[in-house]
Amino acid sequence: MTLVKFNPFKELELINEKIKSFFNDLPTAFTSDWPMNYYPKVDISESDKAIYVNVELPGVDKKDVKVTLQDNVLTIEGEKKSEIKDEKKNYLRFERSYGSFCRSFVLPVEVNADEIKAKFENGILSIEAPKKEPTPINKKLIEIK
């Protein structure tokens, strides 16, 4: 008889995958009246000198995107416009999403707002936010009498 080690987290992983699969297929299970939302994917990384944000925006025009920084919160908003011209077509499958989007991220460190750079190339919005130099803490030695 072979003993199999029980891993309770394996069962949770399987349940998680089933739930993800259900919600990924949900919009296609309804009629075309289902409200489709566009939700771009984002990667955020950092180095010693900067925070880097890359946003996938295929099919989005650069003029339809706005990036703002307020109180160390980076906000990316815009709209992916529908390319559907012929409403009378009988679609067999409709998976592409369209609509307005807004993603906000609290940056993990203070950044220099005047030096942030953003570029939009091949459907990828790349943002580089240089970190602020940490301000030295004023420390004063107090004489004990």
| Greater model confidence, 144 or 31 | 144
Partner residues linked to 131 by β-bridges: 111
Give the contacts of 16 (CB within 8 A, at least 6 positions apart).
none
Asked whether 52 and 35 are in contact (CB, 8 A), the reply is: no
Side chain identity at 126, as an amino acid letter? S
Asked whether 93 and 27 are in contact (CB, 8 A), the reply is: no
Side chain identity at 43, as an amino acid letter? D
Residue for token digits 């580089």?
Answer: 128
Dump pLDDT digits (tens) for 42-89.
999 999 999 999 999 998 999 999 999 999 999 999 998 877 666 677
Domains and CATH numbers, the chain: 32-130 (2.60.40.790)
